[in-house]
């Protein structure tokens, strides 16, 4: 029955000379198997329908108790996420970026942490997707930009060596018309040189609408830098790569993990470095954990590296100590 409904709804509907498509999502619950009361059944069907939507829509899902448990866990997460900013539960850790040739720290990536009272530290992998879906990424992202810029300004004021601050941005933040103003405010409040700020975006930016690309160009006009994070895991258009104001590619850590032993990964890493060089871009390798990876990347001309081999992401005070000692991290070969 559900397949028939989906089938009937799939042809284009012409309205005002335009062809429009509906992508129905259907949730199914069974009585008396799942429940007996009308309210509960409707709620189950709703949960299943949202699950169908989350799978891309134009499909159906049956209700299961696990779906409900999952929806509840998510709701709890979402509710506490809503209060996290006012409760000062976010903090940033900073992971140094090390220049391959000199071993000097040339940058730091700001990585958000959520200290959620009883649950301890929650990984961004867990809550950033929820923040993106709920739109909470907008205020959270603004907090990250403000805090990271203020931190770099404080390090500069303390006379620490010059470095670039890298901040992760979700594509969702680019769809917000205020992004340029938000970045502008963070720069103004901290009186940073825009060139000291690097915004990390993912390849998914390249399949976005024109408005996203326009925002990228406006930010570029402010003087900030851009890097493509997790490069190699998404869909990149090479002509876009050339036309967009991107100056750094960050090789995804999945390609770094098994070099030099895995020949495919080694070939991919090498190809990314060669491509970046011929497009006049910098290359940063992520997730560098060993001397062998370090050597491989050095010999293939990678510009900078980030990873546990040098340092985990650190609280601001700890990175300041490392910077103060002007400690050259072990990029020795
Ligand atoms: P990412 O931007 O690709 O960050 C790199 C991740 O790899 C970080 O995880 C970092 O702690 C981890 N990492 C660094 N070195 C190594 C290593 O040598 N080995 C391994 N196995 N891992 C390493 P983290 O901090 O859990 O962040 C995960 C992701 O969450 C980030 O991936 C980024 O996409 C997102 N994220 C973090 N902070 C923010 C933020 O402020 N805003 C947004 N929109 N996303 C953020
Ligand atoms: Mg990143
Ligand atoms: Mg990455």
pLDDT in tens, 244-303: 899 999 999 999 999 989 999 999 999 999 999 999 999 999 999 999 999 999 999 999
**Which pLDDT does position 327 carry in this prediction?**
59
For residue 332, pLDDT over 80 is answered with no
Tell me what percent of the residues of the chain surpass a pLDDT of 70.
98
pLDDT in tens, 139-194: 999 999 999 999 999 999 999 989 999 999 998 898 887 999 999 999 999 999 99
**Which pLDDT does position 134 carry in this prediction?**
87
**Which pLDDT does position 133 carry in this prediction?**
87
Question: Is 239 or 16 the better-scoring residue by pLDDT?
Answer: 16
What's the mean per-residue pLDDT of the chain? 91
Ligand 1 pocket, mutate which of 112, 124, 171 (most atoms under 8 A from CB):
124
Q: Which atom, in ligand 1's list, is nearest to the CA of 230? A: 3
Distance (Å) from CA 284 to ligand 3 centroid: 10
| 123 confidence band (pLDDT: 50, 70, 90) | very high
**Which pLDDT does position 329 carry in this prediction?**
61
- Average pLDDT of span 306-318: 96
| Beta carbons within 10 angstroms of residue 109's beta carbon | 25
| Beta carbons within 10 angstroms of residue 80's beta carbon | 18
Q: Quick check: CB of 35 below 6 Å from ligand 1?
A: no
Q: Is 215 left (phi over 0), alpha (psi -120 to 50) or beta?
A: alpha
| 26 confidence band (pLDDT: 50, 70, 90) | very high
Of all ligands present, the nearest one to the C-alpha of 96 is 1
According to DSSP, the residues that pair with 228 across neighbouring strands are 201, 249
**Which pLDDT does position 239 carry in this prediction?**
82
Residues 6+ apart with CB under 8 A from 258: 265
Q: Is 274 left (phi over 0), alpha (psi -120 to 50) or beta?
A: alpha
Distance (Å) from CA 111 to ligand 1 centroid: 6
């Amino acid at each position: 029955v559900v397949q028939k409904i989906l089938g009937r709804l799939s042809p284009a509907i012409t309205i005002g000379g335009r062809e429009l498509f509906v992508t129905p999502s259907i949730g199914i619950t069974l009585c008396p198997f799942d429940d007996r009361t009308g309210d509960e059944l409707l709620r189950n069907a709703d949960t299943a329908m949202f699950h169908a939507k989350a799978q891309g829509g134009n499909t159906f899902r049956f209700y299961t108790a696990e779906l409900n448990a999952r929806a509840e866990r998510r709701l709890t997460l979402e509710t506490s996420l809503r209060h996290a900013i006012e409760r000062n539960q976010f903090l940033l850790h900073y992971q140094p970026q090390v220049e391959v040739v000199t071993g000097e720290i040339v940058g730091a990536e700001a990585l958000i942490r959520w200290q959620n009272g009883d649950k301890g530290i929650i990984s961004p992998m867990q809550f950033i997707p929820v923040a993106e879906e709920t739109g909470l990424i907008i205020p959270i992202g603004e907090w990250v930009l403000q805090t990271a810029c203020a931190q770099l300004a404080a390090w500069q004021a303390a006379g620490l060596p010059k470095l670039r601050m890298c901040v992760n941005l979700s594509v969702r933040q680019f769809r917000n018309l205020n992004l340029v103003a938000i970045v502008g405010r963070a720069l103004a409040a901290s009186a940073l040189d825009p060139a000291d700020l690097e915004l990390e975006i993912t390849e998914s930016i390249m399949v976005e609408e024109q408005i996203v690309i326009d925002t990228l160009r406006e930010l570029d006009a402010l003087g900030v830098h851009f890097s493509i994070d997790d490069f190699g895991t998404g869909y990149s258009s090479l002509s876009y790569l050339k036309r967009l104001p991107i100056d750094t590619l960050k090789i995804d850590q999945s390609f770094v993990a098994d070099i030099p032993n895995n020949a495919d990964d080694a070939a991919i890493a090498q190809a990314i470095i060669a491509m970046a060089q011929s497009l006049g871009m910098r290359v940063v390798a992520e997730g560098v954990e060993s001397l062998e990876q370090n050597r491989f990347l050095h010999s293939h001309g990678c510009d900078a590296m980030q990873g546990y081999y040098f340092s985990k992401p650190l609280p601001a005070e700890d990175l300041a100590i490392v910077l103060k000692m002007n400690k050259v991290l072990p990029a020795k070969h």
